Structure 1
């Protein structure tokens, strides 16, 4: 593919823009900071700041890119971030961010009225931080006459094209969109008091929304007439950037916490509600879940330490004698739902190397349990596995995870959400997986060391049994983990 595609990532702390060639080379990048206002359960940002930061970051990324080479642009944003605007797209409210929970009082009513739809979609219950509770709160607070709901990416896309735009199904999941029917559940929303004219039309990610208008071109550096493509949430964008887009493939993102997302042809329905699925651009499904374990436990227990030095010492403690369940915060979300869960470290710890080794192995065991649970739900889990996130900077931890999982893992060169949006921007008329195969570069491939999976089996099953003993992990999930280990 000749040309350059622009991906725009609206994160919590900044907007990032990447201009990417068809071979995956970054031709330009730009970043601008965002600021938030937090107070208790509230987390707000100024929507106008999103646009100004986007325009500046985009202009910086395109500073050395000829106009004639720019082929398209797509935007991702945080999931569940919404605002109300007037019919001209002018914000009437602050942007209520993805983790704002002021609308908690709306949740029970929403689940009572729409529970049958949420069950069809596999996630069973909405949560306080999701967008539909926030929409009801906003309508109660500001009124509904002549207002429009905009997701964070909708606000920026509207500025890019200069008129109203549909929203993508990915962003609309937490607003209650019926992803199977690809429409709003009008009976549910009418019962909840949401006027139909408040909601945008729905399209799949990868749909052309329009073209860059003259006013936006002047501010962003995007040539007037550049196609604007419907994007996705930041989590789905990261999956696109990792290139994990064929059925059975998975992307495991290990940062402060652990997030696993994959690709299936059929919708995965989880009776526990730990796994929920986005709609893929090609009509398939992107199931995933987020655990409360992750490298945040390392940062907490070993602040400011030389992690490479600790890793070298931990390599001699395989498996570690202590057993760790390294939660970053209270409560677990995936591979089981247990608000009462707490992290633990069992057994005598000889020294800090053994403590460090137990934490690294504990996170890898939870990752393995996630895949055992996905297998129990009927999801194909035997495809390619891509590792991304800050933890991939540790060569030892990547090898350990490959060993514990007993499978080959791939590390992409660059898997950030903005790259995923550049991939999506290049996808109209083509399969997204084919575009990603050309644009996503591989940094390394790691195979498990011979016999390594068996070496960790006993420790892994000890953790499974301890979680079941505490009645956090359902007995049938523990039994499946045992059965899969002994296959």
Structure 2
């Protein structure tokens, strides 16, 4: 190590299936990376993980990232993200004493009804109107009901990232308002809603303190350093949810910019100056470390159907065969699982096609086109709510490796789309760590310096009228089924006018 060696910023991403860590320089050059798998247990609507494996996987991934050229002495700060709404309870010593209830665990149905009945005004103020049964607060109430001695024994709520942050610093830590949003935290005031929690029978002693993402919450202790390969004294920065981390890692941090993540499902997140209120409860907003708001939503459509319907196929060849068929008159609503959440709420929604496909290539073309039409409807819905939607659109997620699909999405959206080089949630946490601990200019400048763009795709005007006509038909099919409100469809049709 010499005086000219660049600083490193360490980002850690706790996903559903594994942990990933990256060490990145201030100008975005990767210096090291590592990963370690996680396993879960699903039974019906229940989805649990053993929290003990979280720390072991983090130590393994960080150790790999800091091997080789990534000298641990160059790490200037670390930040951790985690799956949204995943939580457990810990004892007085910070040890996890319940299973980790994962982000999509749906057992707290009765508790969600109680939470929504008693907190209706607070959730409307927060902009999302209602909590879902998989959110953190219903699951916290469920845990307290199942462990009645928890309060007397001094047990406390811990989100997935809190578990890791406590192990890193060696003492009790506050939670961040991003991970705590679905547990009821008021991101605007950085407080817990005391009256609602009192009505729910949740005592203040169960709750950790609250800080905004990007706050330094401690330093890596000697014990954690020995286990994971870091140097003692490295600042630990309060992180965000994995979805917000992915947005930072895409570089979409300026007001009006959007990150569209197409993986198993479609997730859209953007940046607004003011809190966006959605009377339908479809869109909810996190608070950005910069002080702006990060509205977004998650659809149940996405690329998850590709693995299910085209298992074993040569997807590159299939995409090439589908390309000449686009736009296709076959309209599909490609739901990965029953029920839709965004850009409308329809619990009874099911996948459909307007007719039988002429062949495998047309079926694949219709799947890609259907997701692109849903993506356009998401933007139209956000525009209806008053969100600024005219900024850059950044495409990330596994499906962004498909060039045919990327071009199709640009054509359908009728706007350029940007493809970053190394976008991932762990990079987003490295960006956050840098913006909090030394990178001048705040979050936007850190993101601009550390996230590099690979490609910009322009929409093809030759496909515009055909897609406008297909999109209009698509809206009609959704309205006929009673899923899409007529007012939303009418607004979306205005965008197809010459």
Common topology (TM > 0.5): yes
Cα separation, partners in 2 of 1:49 and 1:349, compared to 1, 3 Å: closer
Is residue 107 of structure 2 the alignment partner of residue 102 of structure 1? yes
Counterparts of 1:112-261 in structure 2, within 5 Å, are: 112-142=117-147, 143=149, 144-145=151-152, 146-261=154-269
CA shift, 1:292, in A, is: 1.0
Give the corresponding residue for 1:457: 468
Is residue 424 of structure 2 the alignment partner of residue 416 of structure 1? yes
Give the corresponding residue for 1:13: 17
CA distance in 1, matches of 2:262, 2:372: 10
CA distance in 2, matches of 1:402, 1:476: 25
Give the corresponding residue for 1:285: 293
Q: Which runs of 5+ in 2 are unaligned?
A: none
Match of 1:352 among 332, 357, 360: 360
CA shift, 1:348, in A, is: 4.9
Match of 2:480 among 446, 456, 469: 469
Match of 1:52 among 43, 52, 56: 56
Asked whether the 8 Å contact 1:166–1:209 carries over to 2, the reply is yes
CA distance in 2, matches of 1:179, 1:22: 29
Asked whether the 8 Å contact 1:100–1:129 carries over to 2, the reply is yes
CA distance in 1, matches of 2:284, 2:175: 19
CA shift, 1:58, in A, is: 0.8
Asked whether the 8 Å contact 1:321–1:354 carries over to 2, the reply is no
Asked whether the 8 Å contact 2:327–2:463 carries over to 1, the reply is no
CA distance in 1, matches of 2:223, 2:479: 59
Q: Find runs of 4+ consecutive structure 1 residues off by over 6 angstroms.
A: none
- More deviation in 248-257 or 134-143? 134-143
CA distance in 2, matches of 1:44, 1:326: 27
Is residue 335 of structure 2 the alignment partner of residue 330 of structure 1? no
Give the corresponding residue for 1:480: 491
CA deviation string 1:188-240 (max 9, x = no partner): 00111111011111111111011111111111111110000000011111111
Give the corresponding residue for 1:73: 78
Match of 2:46 among 42, 45, 55: 42
Give the corresponding residue for 1:434: 445
Secondary structure in structure 1 of the residue aligned to 2:461: coil
CA distance in 2, matches of 1:305, 1:134: 40
Is residue 93 of structure 2 the alignment partner of residue 88 of structure 1? yes
Asked whether the 8 Å contact 1:405–1:453 carries over to 2, the reply is no
Give the corresponding residue for 2:67: 63
CA shift, 1:2, in A, is: 3.6
CA distance in 1, matches of 2:183, 2:123: 11
CA deviation string 1:349-368 (max 9, x = no partner): 32222222211111111111
CA shift, 1:309, in A, is: 1.7
CA shift, 1:90, in A, is: 1.3
CA shift, 1:328, in A, is: 1.2
Structure 2 length-normalised TM: 0.95
Secondary structure in structure 2 of the residue aligned to 1:232: coil
Secondary structure in structure 2 of the residue aligned to 1:411: strand
CA deviation string 1:132-187 (max 9, x = no partner): 11111111222312111110100110110111111110000010011222210000
CA shift, 1:244, in A, is: 0.5
Structure 1 length-normalised TM: 0.98
Secondary structure in structure 1 of the residue aligned to 2:157: strand
CA shift, 1:40, in A, is: 2.5
Asked whether the 8 Å contact 1:321–1:348 carries over to 2, the reply is no
CA distance in 1, matches of 2:307, 2:417: 24
Give the corresponding residue for 2:410: 402
CA distance in 1, matches of 2:81, 2:194: 26
Secondary structure in structure 1 of the residue aligned to 2:239: strand
What RMSD in Å do the two structures reach over aligned CA positions? Answer: 1.3
- More deviation in 162-171 or 350-359? 350-359
- More deviation in 172-181 or 242-251? 172-181
Cα separation, partners in 2 of 1:47 and 1:224, compared to 1, 3 Å: same
Q: How many aligned positions are there?
A: 487
